[in-house]
Chain A
């Protein structure tokens, strides 16, 4: 008996000898020590936060870690990415389709993470495109762009893509008013003829899919930025405007004349009810709606042709103008939803409106006239107060949980910390140089994670080693946990770090996808085993159904292709192991390489122009035998009688074993 118990004890002990998976890293405090210690993330350790920093004119979205500032990944969104094959392979090309046809580039601006009950839920991240108005949705499990929807009746989609506190809507705006519908009229007839659309896109709570629920047809101002109300102001959306002068030329002067422009306050809940009651009208439009099917991992582009439009007179009591000095740029709502902070970029003042006062002013009809049928509320009736001369050129504000606001000043190149209630400056810190947006993780939510703040700067000049006339733009990390802001780190960014969204790593890292299951691969051209690989001729098209696994292609010898053929490589990565992508490149193909993740299929087109035997190979160093992962396609002359033949190790795939 004793010996049996002894055996059991030993056995239990032995079981615990099995090596456990690497446990998640404990969060490193950054409360003491110098700046270097605070941003040092030791090799193999993880950052505390993800920072999704817009690539601006690169059209992409870059993923960094905070506090280290290390770049992890660039997610291709609005621009082709030859590195990954995005926008080049047959599966992703439809993602970049628009009503203007295929557009290889975009100008990405404001990422915003989906929310539930006013807190970040980490399901999706949305980002807008300014030039060809679009909004994209990116999965935070796969870090891939899953949907891009074009916004009709708009130009310069800048006041976008901010999300309401239960991810009911994501919004799009119009920075460049245009004739709606577009028509051939003299530019000088701008006033009264040019209009803007504020679009509310409903988000499907399960799939995340967006559809344009309604557009509000607004006067032809420039709608610059926007933010949703939250908490008590949930149900409202606030947009800043400039060029209420409706100038059409030399705007830098002509759109800077009015002492006050407006903040447009939109009660979207009320408009929702009006729309449900049939208010408004249908308009014929044309816009692309591109969706990514995760099962077939193929995008389809659908051209939509109608949108529901409401005019302000259709929705009385739902839209108001709040006079705000002076060409306000940023509009930000504090975590409680009470304070609406507008940055009058040409005034050296921060205007704080009160949601409670606004409600009362509406009730009391404290109007100061109207503009295009939209009531203008009296400034004094809505204004909580003004922070005079905190700096020059205020642009954007984010908040902490302690009642403080942090505002960027482009002209005086600094971030100013101030108390919203007291309207008193607490601290200021220079940035290098000319800061645009700033970001506190969860800054556009009821629950900011207020340990770090990232300032995103447009100009770097002498901050880094020079690289010719074109130098990097930059982000700067601050510790904001104390009374004084402390500059911790400079790190260069891709493109223009326009705006960013941050989220604690703990919310995302465990659900990040590792591989795609081959059995779930529903791509019509997928192969599940090497035995399924084949080459099929259909007229002058040759379809190669190929597989890749460490470390060979199957088939890797292909004959019977002729000059003038259109060759489709449908390639499936059969790997089912984490971090084993394979790449594919074909000599002379007028397209990019493809990176194919485990379990996925992608298609590259090659139109051989010369007779010969042409190699292809794996571009991603996949294994010790990566250099051996190569193959040949024999190309015969047009009209030659070379039959289709495909082999692996000189046998038809699947028959060799």
Chain B
């Protein structure tokens, strides 16, 4: 089989690793949490980032500021939060992209490779926007009966607790860090490989 085809197929199949590794990680550090709490965000679920039960412990702390419950299985089963649609949609998108990539690989057409790259970029941008949107909702849509209601010193408005998509933010006693996790690097690897497949295909043509 042609090398570019193999690379295209391998590159797109790498996306399936998204089912194994977390996509993003939010880390929370506070005086009471010298060993920081961690929230791993996967395409299918949330998981403990550092220690056992981190997700539930973060969820428990969130109730002080009136933040909505996290979409964990326990909370969905309890009915305190709606199931998270993205946990269904994103896996479908990933599978479709992987299958499409394999299919394009077998065909071995560089225009299809390019199309795949564009689809990946579009999916990524939409995903990031959706992530931002959820962080906004979690940070702003707070229970009006929250235990801790702190007003912003400058604006006089109720404090919002929107974690950053990327980088650091101080939220009350917590230092919040948000960074891409393992799966994002696999997306990058996938992207690079497909670019490479495209490049090889292109070179092949010029040689002829």
A residues at B contact (CB < 8 Å): 1, 4-5, 7-8, 11-12, 14-15, 17-19, 21-22, 514-515, 517, 531, 549-550, 576-578, 624-625, 657
Contact = CB atoms under 8 A, between A and B. Distances in A.
A19 B38 CA distance: 10
Given A4-B191, A4-B192, A577-B53, A550 B60 contact: yes
Contacts of B34: 22
Given A4-B188, A4-B195, A15-B181, A549 B78 contact: no
A515 B52 contact: yes
Interface string B18-43: 00000001010100001110000000
Contacts of A576: 52-53, 56-57
Contacts of B78: 531, 657
Among the interface residues A1, A12, A576, which one has the most CB atoms of the partner chain B within 10 A? A576
B29 A19 contact: yes
Nearest to B53: A576
A18 B199 contact: no
Nearest to B25: A18
3 pairs of A and B residues whose beta carbons are closest in the complex = A576-B53, A577-B57, A21-B35
A169 B15 CA distance: 58
Given A21-B50, A576-B52, A576-B57, A7 B188 contact: yes
Given A1-B199, A517-B52, A624-B64, A8 B188 contact: yes
Nearest to A576: B53
Contact of B180 (A11, A515, A577, A625): A11
Given A21-B36, A577-B60, 19 more contacts: A4-B192, A5-B192, A11-B180, A14-B180, A15-B181, A15-B185, A17-B177, A18-B25, A19-B27, A21-B35, A22-B34, A22-B35, A515-B53, A517-B52, A550-B60, A577-B53, A578-B51, A625-B64, A657-B78
B184 interface: yes
A19 B147 CA distance: 29
A11 B184 contact: yes
B136 interface: no
A116 B205 CA distance: 70
B179 interface: yes
B80 interface: yes
B156 interface: no
Contacts of B148: 624
A11 B27 contact: no
Interface of B: 25, 27, 29, 34-36, 50-53, 56-57, 60, 64, 78-80, 147-148, 175, 177, 179-181, 184-185, 188, 191-192, 195-196, 199
Contacts of B188: 4, 7-8, 11
A624 B32 CA distance: 12
B145 to A, nearest CB: 11
Contacts of B79: 657
A456 B185 CA distance: 59
Nearest to A577: B57
A425 B119 CA distance: 85
Contacts of B64: 624-625
A19 B177 contact: yes
A22 B51 CA distance: 13
Contacts of B50: 21
Contacts of A517: 52
A4 B27 CA distance: 26
A625 B148 CA distance: 10
A17 B176 CA distance: 12
11 contacts: A1-B195, A4-B195, A11-B185, A17-B177, A18-B177, A19-B177, A21-B50, A22-B35, A515-B53, A657-B78, A657-B80
Contacts of B27: 18-19
Contacts of B192: 1, 4-5, 8
Contacts of A549: 60
B180 A15 contact: yes
A15 B22 CA distance: 13
Nearest to B147: A625
Nearest to A599: B53
Contacts of B51: 514, 578
A173 B153 CA distance: 71
A18 B175 CA distance: 11
Among the interface residues A7, A577, A625, which one has the most CB atoms of the partner chain B within 10 A? A577
A4 B148 CA distance: 44
Nearest to B34: A22
A515 B51 CA distance: 11
B40 to A, nearest CB: 11
A343 to B, nearest CB: 47
B142 to A, nearest CB: 17
B179 A17 contact: yes
Contacts of B181: 15
B83 to A, nearest CB: 16
A657 to B, nearest CB: 5
Contacts of B56: 576
Nearest to A21: B35
Contacts of B185: 8, 11-12, 15
A18 B51 CA distance: 15
A30 B51 CA distance: 34
Contacts of A5: 192
A367 to B, nearest CB: 63
Nearest to A550: B60
